[in-house]
């Protein structure tokens, strides 16, 4: 068994410029009893334990003397306050670390010779775990439970807490980048789903429009609106606007333009063209079709225009 097999992979660590009150909270929330201090390359440079904080805690004034032990029994310890002290003043430095491939007997000897209860585990120079002396001793005795050993097998170096009660795991910047990437992938999936839903809705609308017929009232209203356009000095009037998909060719003949475009019309547009040809064409009116928008570069809506001058071809 080597250090990698026994180490705790979910553990907090900080850099030397971390706020000491924050480190104290990490220690209070985490069951490992130590917070390694690393440099920018994640090399251990120190370690902070509860003992470090106790030594840094303000002492009673000399004239008051020490507080009797029986008064302190079963009383909760007051929250630690840094009071301006820096982490470098409190931490134990340098940090004694162990290679991830070190064998358990060697680890035990180093811990014993340096009176260590915890040791950072490094891969090369980079911290990847934390070893506890009590677990090393259990492993030496052969009493380390199989389930506990399996739980200590190497996991991601630092992971985001999966449960509300897990305060020891701290995310890395890489994990945050992965969260951003997953968020962007989710947005892409949502955009695809919205486009699919919009396409389905549009196709349903096209089927409905293809089955609709022009009523007499609608036709008379179109002619009245065209009369008002002429009275306003205009030489043409938009009779109706409709999705180009309502044409049998998706509006390609209208966009070309192809003289055979009227044959592609369906539903109300086909009825409008028929009424123009039967009633208005003999009276000198002309009709024109045009694609009037191009969403994402494709034909969008088409329109039929009624003309009463030669200004438009």
pLDDT tens-place string over residues 125-136: 899 999 998 888
Q: Check: pTM over 0.75? Answer yes or no.
A: no
- Is residue 257 within 8 Å of 238, Cβ to Cβ? no
Residue 302 confidence (pLDDT): 94
Poorest-pLDDT segment among 70-74, 112-116, 197-201, 235-239 = 70-74
Number of neighbours of residue 151 by Cβ within 10 angstroms = 12
Q: Where are the beta strands (DSSP E) in the chain?
A: 14-15, 34-38, 44-49, 98-99, 118-123, 126-132, 236-243, 286-291, 301-307
Residue 78 confidence (pLDDT): 52
Instruction: Please determine, for residue 100, whether its predicted confidence score (pLDDT) is greater than 50.
Output: yes
- Greater pLDDT, 219 or 68: 219
- Going by pLDDT thresholds of 50, 70 and 90, the confidence category of residue 296 is confident
Residue 66 confidence (pLDDT): 62
Cis-peptide, bond into residue 17, ω within 30° of zero:
no
- Going by pLDDT thresholds of 50, 70 and 90, the confidence category of residue 37 is very high
- Is residue 6 within 8 Å of 152, Cβ to Cβ? yes
């Amino acid at each position: 068994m080597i250090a990698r097999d026994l180490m705790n992979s979910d553990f907090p660590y900080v850099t030397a410029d971390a706020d000491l009150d924050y480190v104290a909270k990490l220690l209070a929330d985490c069951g490992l009893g130590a917070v390694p201090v690393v440099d920018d390359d994640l090399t251990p440079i120190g370690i902070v334990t509860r003992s470090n904080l106790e030594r840094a805690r303000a002492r009673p004034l000399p004239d008051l003397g020490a507080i009797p032990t029986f008064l302190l029994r079963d009383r909760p310890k007051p929250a630690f306050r840094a009071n301006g002290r820096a982490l470098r003043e409190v931490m134990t430095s340098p940090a004694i670390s162990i290679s991830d491939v070190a064998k358990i007997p060697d680890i035990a000897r180093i811990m014993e010779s340096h009176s260590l209860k915890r040791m950072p585990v490094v891969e090369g120079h980079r911290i990847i775990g934390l070893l506890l002396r009590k677990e090393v001793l259990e492993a030496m005795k052969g009493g380390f439970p199989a389930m506990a050993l399996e739980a200590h097998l190497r996991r991601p170096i630092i992971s985001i807490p999966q449960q509300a009660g897990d305060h020891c795991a701290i995310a890395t910047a890489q994990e945050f980048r992965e969260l951003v990437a997953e968020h962007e992938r989710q947005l892409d999936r949502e955009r695809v789903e919205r486009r699919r839903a919009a396409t389905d809705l549009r196709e349903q609308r096209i089927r409905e429009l293809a089955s609709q017929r022009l009523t007499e009232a609608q036709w008379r209203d179109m002619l009245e609106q065209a009369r008002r356009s002429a009275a306003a000095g205009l030489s043409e009037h938009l009779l109706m606007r409709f999705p180009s998909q309502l044409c049998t060719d998706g509006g390609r003949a209208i966009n070309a333009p192809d003289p055979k475009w009227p044959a592609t019309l369906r539903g109300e547009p086909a009825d409008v063209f028929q009424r123009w040809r039967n009633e208005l064409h003999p009276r000198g009116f002309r009709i024109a079709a045009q694609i009037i928008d191009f969403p994402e570069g494709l034909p969008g809506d088409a329109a039929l225009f009624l003309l009463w001058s030669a200004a438009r071809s």
